[in-house]
Amino acid sequence: MAWRKIGRIFRAEGQRDFMVSHASCPQAVQQDGDLYRIWFAPRDKQNRSYCAWLDIDITKPTEILRLAETPSVAPGALGAFDEQGAMFSWVMSHAGESRIYYTGWNIGDTVPFRNAIGMASASGPDGEFIPNAGPVLDRSAMDPYFVGNPCVLFAAGNWHLWYLSGTAWSPASDTAPARASYNLRHALSPDGVNWTPDSAPAVDYFHPGEMAIARPSVRYADGLFRMHYSWRGTGYGYRAGYAESADGSTWRRLDEGAGAQPSEEGWDSEMIAYPQVFEHSGQTYMLYCGNGFSAAGFGLAVLED
């Protein structure tokens, strides 16, 4: 895959009080014709994540047409699973209902955080998103450390969830906090709310020194699931990854075909993180985040032959 980078679309720099920094996990949803809404996760001055959006014309993607005045999902109540953050990850529609799936953040003690997966639903595309009272997936015997970065599709007659699952924490040192390792897992559901995880990882560690695989973004067409994600390891930042599956559960990693690489300099010179791929008018586009785990914002690339 040969990707031509179009440029950075957005960087959070205080445009709203909930957009002080970062712009993680972008996802493009077509509104009408060339008009797209890009959902993403900004942070406030307390480093808490939200679910927000902006609108662009895909033919002039670096010009923002509209920016959300208020968040669609905000951090939850005192003591809730999402008290310290409601990090956008995926939005989808089914049977007239819109759903946002997000990562709920809690601050840890011996480790920096513990995460769970939340869901907020709305009646139609313009309705108010109402979060569930608790997580739809949390720590369990299958996922003992934390879960997050959900991607949900209703495909091939089933509800599918792909998500990040913590596999270990490395101890803190005098100079650094404890570090997490995580791979990707898959779960099925009868309703998109109650999930049963598979017994084995969907996308597991592969590269030398690899310790983190994040933000699955899945498309389904012609009987094939296609996943884009990001992976990183000791001494190197996030890179774009790609895998294919016939059933959504067992995946074959094809990272050498992911294509997009960090630039020699600039906002995306250290990372290609949290990619999402979509098609429009016969062209294939990739949204992705840059340096600092999206502190540098997100941009757009187009696939060329």
Whole-number CA gyration radius for the chain: 18
pTM, two decimal places: 0.96
pLDDT tens by residue, 33-48: 999 999 999 999 999 9
Task: Provide the 8-state DSSP code for 111.
Answer: S
Distances (CA, A) of 26 to 38, 96, 287: 6, 23, 6
Q: Share the mean pLDDT of the chain.
A: 96
Q: Are 256 and 263 in contact (CB under 8 A)?
A: no
In the structure, what pLDDT confidence band is assigned to residue 124 with cuts at 50, 70 and 90?
Answer: confident
Report the candidate in 47, 31, 59 with the shortest Cα–Cα distance to residue 294: 47
Please check the confidence at residue 106 and state whether its pLDDT lies above 90: yes
Domain ranges of the chain: 2-304
Reading the block at residue 170, the tokens are: 């490395």
In the structure, what pLDDT confidence band is assigned to residue 176 with cuts at 50, 70 and 90?
Answer: confident
Please check the confidence at residue 125 and state whether its pLDDT lies above 80: no
C-alpha atoms less than 13 angstroms from C-alpha of 20 in its C-beta half-sphere: 9
Q: How does DSSP assign 146-209, residue by residue?
A: -EEEEEEEEETTEEEEEEEEEEEEEPP-SSS--EEEEEEEEEEESSSSS-EE-SS-SB---STT
Report the candidate in 139, 90, 86 with the shortest Cα–Cα distance to residue 114: 139
Please check the confidence at residue 101 and state whether its pLDDT lies above 90: yes
pLDDT tens by residue, 215-258: 999 999 999 999 999 999 988 999 999 999 999 999 999 998 78
Distances (CA, A) of 156 to 81, 93, 159, 248, 257: 31, 16, 8, 10, 25
- pLDDT reported for residue 235: 87
Assigned fold of 2-304: Tachylectin-2; Chain A (2.115.10)
In the structure, what pLDDT confidence band is assigned to residue 1 with cuts at 50, 70 and 90?
Answer: low
More confident residue, 43 or 126: 43
- pLDDT reported for residue 97: 94
Please check the confidence at residue 284 and state whether its pLDDT lies above 70: yes
Percentage of the chain exceeding pLDDT 70: 100
Q: Are 150 and 101 in contact (CB under 8 A)?
A: yes
- pLDDT reported for residue 161: 99
Q: Coil, strand or helix: which one is 83?
A: coil
- pLDDT reported for residue 274: 98
- pLDDT reported for residue 129: 98
Reading the block at residue 15, the tokens are: 């445009």
